[in-house]
Amino acid sequence: MNPATDPLTVALFSTGGAILGSLLTIFLTAPLQHHFWRRQRRSEIRLTAVNELARVIAEFDVKYAFDCEYIPNQDQDRDFLKSFRKSTNDVRILFSGSTFEIFKELEEMIVGPTTERTYEKYFEKERKTMRALYDELGLL
């Protein structure tokens, strides 16, 4: 008699395969789901941070469009500076060092001295920063 067609062998291998498949499913499903959930949640948090930064930058753009010498100050722009500081921290924590370095160039244009800031330089830094952030998110 051929051992591959023996009913007892077939039954044992079928049962063993079913048990092994069930155990793999039980022990691997939860960690895999958790892994993918964490990646998705991280991406959502990062996208929210980018959207908030875009809002803060747009607020600066409006003020800068009317006054090319505009620099946010503690007295008049307290809410703007708080939002910008939060966005700075989000970019520092949630994105890579190279992306944060690109962002720092924009930050210097916003809160730094205006001696070297021109519309062209500022908007180029803004585009470069937003492109780097969206690229790191995998959206470009």
Name the pLDDT band for 119 (thresholds 50, 70, 90). confident
pLDDT above 90: residue 18 = no
Which of 15-19, 38-42, 102-106, 123-127 is the least confident region? Answer: 15-19
Q: CA dist 86 to 55, 89, 127, 137, Å?
A: 12, 5, 20, 19
Cβ atoms within 10 Å of 104's Cβ, excluding its own: 15
Which of 64, 127, 136 is CA-nearest to residue 100?
Answer: 136
pLDDT digits (tens, 9 = 90+) for 51-109: 999 999 999 999 888 887 888 887 888 899 999 999 999 999 999 999 999 999 999 98
State the DSSP code for 3.
Answer: T
Helical H segments across the chain, by residue range: 7-66, 78-94, 97-111, 119-137
State the DSSP code for 4.
Answer: T
Compute the distance between CA of residue 60 and CA of residue 110 in angstroms, rounded to an integer. 8
